Amino acid sequence: MILYGIPTCDTCKKAIKALEAAGKTVSFRDIRADPLSEFEWGELIDEFGTRLVNTKSTTWRGLSDWLKASEADAQLAAHPTLMKRPVIRDGDTLYIGWDEATQAEILG
């Protein structure tokens, strides 16, 4: 299982802690230190579309109107930390966020 995020993200920390407590082996991928490839971004955008962009973040609020109006891939290429976190890969299945539905699906 791979969890994509940034080390300072509280939601990512909570997810890792809960997953490990449930006996899952979690590999953390810091998207700043180890950026996603164009292919990996494409895969995530294909799966989640605009939901992948966190429009509630301070980074989003600071974007130019031009970038806000652009496609998700352009926004994430310019600011990878705009990605809604965490994104979790469990085999071939991708999850976004750490809400109750995601927790129930992964943790059972």
pLDDT digits (tens, 9 = 90+) for 49-69: 999 999 999 999 999 999 999
92: DSSP letter? T
Query: Taking a C-beta distance cutoff of 8 angstroms, is the pair 53, 84 a contact?
Result: yes
- Domain range annotation of the chain: 2-107
Q: Which residues are catalytic?
A: 9
Helix (H) or strand (E) holding 96: strand 93-96
What percentage of the chain reaches a pLDDT higher than 90?
Answer: 99
Fold of 2-107: Glutaredoxin (3.40.30)
Query: Taking a C-beta distance cutoff of 8 angstroms, is the pair 31, 12 a contact?
Result: no
pTM listed for this prediction: 0.92
pLDDT digits (tens, 9 = 90+) for 19-47: 999 999 999 999 999 999 999 999 999 99
DSSP string, 18-84: HHHHTT---EEEETTTSPPPHHHHHHHHHHHGGGGB-TTSHHHHTS-HHHHTS-HHHHHHH-GGGB-
